Amino acid sequence: MTSIDPNEQPTWRAVFSGRLLLPTLVINWGILLFAIDTFIITTIMPSVIQDIGGTSLYAWPVMIFTVGAIVGSASAGPIRIKYGQRDGFVLAGLLFLFGNLGAAFASTIEILIAWRLLQGLGGGLIISQSFGVVGSIYPPGLRTRIFSVISTTWGLATVFGPAFGGVFAELGSWRSAFWALVPLTLIFCILVWRFIENQGKGEGVQRFPVTRLILFSAGILTIGFTSQTDESINRVLLILIAICLVAWAMRRDALSVNRMFPRKTLIPTSAIGSSYWYNLFFTCMFIFALIYSTLYLQILHSKSPIVAAYISANLSFCWTAAALICASWSGVMIRVAVVGGGLLMVAGSIGLYLFALEGPVSFIILSFGLMGLGIGFSNIHVMALTIECAEHGDDALVASSIQTIRNMGLAFGSAFAGLLANSAGLKEEASPVVILRAIELIHIGAIVLSILTLMSLIIFIGYHGKENRFTRNQ
């Protein structure tokens, strides 16, 4: 594949034709694989438990996949340097392939958990490498468009992922759900090998960041353990330990030559840092809004599980729609999308606080929609603008690290939401009064996170103008 012209005209046709057609297919194929594997486990787990047992470890196949995905995505930069963009991508696909193959043969829940870890490692690498490819081969004018296509792929997976697993669960063959992903992953590996260049190999120091990855893994695994205890004090201690371990890993990375993250990561007074805080905050807000939504829609509003699921999915639908609508915006409209998106997220979170408990349900749907629109309008432009602020040669690292930060937001957001719910007394078979108290507390947290998200966006817009390397070099 030849290099991409940086002056490529920013049109939708350019994304889906010529030299970018096959990279676009490869990127979205990989993201679809990861997304489907994320969603299918929730629908097949009852069948898994019925077949091989392991009720006491019910949550572990989901949790360990998340841990693996975060560690895998954090490894994307060093993997790319050591093996190159193409070979690192193929390695990610092979890890994912063997993880699904092993899961299909699992005879005990413990063996399934081990293979789910490998799936997560491969999946995290796939999705971060996909973002890295966007940063390395797509010209700035086309990045918002490819990011909106990626958002659409996620939206489709949100709708069809659970159904994909549900079909096999209905057929009484949960193993076939993993088997079905094996040939799809093999095709993905072949496409990567054929159509992605192996650039980036050997750029920088070759030593692999083992210590940092161990610290990072330990921190994320500690977060996962918060779901295994009902004691609030234990959850607080585990969260604090996790924050310390991740902060230690990030600190070591900032002082290292072979970095897993770009410079100024999580430094709020910088474009990249404020962008990463935005990604962390909005992902936590997203989790706070959705994690107990089907619960209160079923119990407080008497909705069926499928109706409750699709009401919650309105957030994802609107996220995808907004991303497609604003992908071609430029100039001052980008600022409107970014800041306006932040305001919509605040409005959506306030709406959920006001209407989640007593309705009407139409206003709950509207609130989810506002939050989704806010994420969709701001997200693709922030990602594209953040890459513009990368140091020379760091475009792929900056792009791939965004997904790592989001995965961290998913983990920490789930842990903090669980802590708030637990402090309100939410447990199995909780009374409606307890559910009311817990949901109210969680939505207050969502409002706080949405305000922090908006503040991060405002700071980002200010620093982007100073640190954008294209305007800085003019």
Q: What is the pLDDT along the chain (474 residues), one digit of tens a residue?
A: 444 455 555 788 888 888 889 999 999 999 999 888 887 877 788 788 888 888 777 778 877 888 888 888 888 888 888 888 889 899 999 999 999 999 999 999 899 999 999 999 999 999 988 888 888 888 888 888 999 998 888 878 877 776 777 778 777 788 998 999 999 999 999 999 998 887 766 655 557 788 888 888 888 888 878 877 778 888 889 999 999 999 999 888 888 877 788 888 878 889 999 999 999 999 999 989 988 888 888 888 988 877 887 888 889 889 999 999 999 898 899 999 999 999 999 999 999 999 999 889 999 999 999 999 999 999 999 999 998 888 877 788 888 888 889 888 888 888 888 888 888 887 766 677 888 888 999 999 999 999 999 999 999 999 887 777 555 544
d(CA 374, CA 118): 34
Q: Alpha carbon of 175 to those of 94, 102, 414: distances in Å?
A: 19, 10, 28
Closest CA to 107 of 23, 175, 22: 175
Q: Kindly provide the b/e burial profile for residues 395-429, where b requires at least 16 CB atoms within 10 angstroms of the residue's own CB.
A: bbbbbbbbbbbbbbbbbbbbbbbbbbbbebebeee
Q: What is the pLDDT of residue 2?
A: 42
Q: What is the pLDDT of residue 199?
A: 73
Q: What is the pLDDT of residue 379?
A: 93
Q: What is the pLDDT of residue 123?
A: 93
**What type of residue is 74?**
A
| C-alpha torsion sign, points 229, 231, 236, 238 | negative
Q: What is the pLDDT of residue 344?
A: 97
d(CA 455, CA 59): 35
**51 Cβ partners below 8 Å, 6+ apart?**
174
d(CA 176, CA 167): 10
- Alpha-carbon dihedral 275, 276, 281, 282, rounded to 10 degrees: 60
Residue with tokens 């408990």: 357
Q: What is the pLDDT of residue 5?
A: 52
Q: What is the pLDDT of residue 259?
A: 79
> pLDDT tens digit string along 236-286?
899 999 999 999 998 888 888 777 888 888 788 899 999 999 999 999 999
CB 473 within 8 A of CB 312: no
Q: What is the pLDDT of residue 156?
A: 80
HSE on the CB side for 452, CA within 13 Å?
18
Q: What is the pLDDT of residue 1?
A: 44
Reading the block at residue 383, the tokens are: 């990602």
Percent of the chain whose pLDDT exceeds 90: 37
Q: What is the pLDDT of residue 254?
A: 85
Reading the block at residue 135, the tokens are: 């940063």
**pTM for the predicted model, two decimal places:** 0.84
d(CA 179, CA 185): 10
Residue with tokens 């706080």: 448
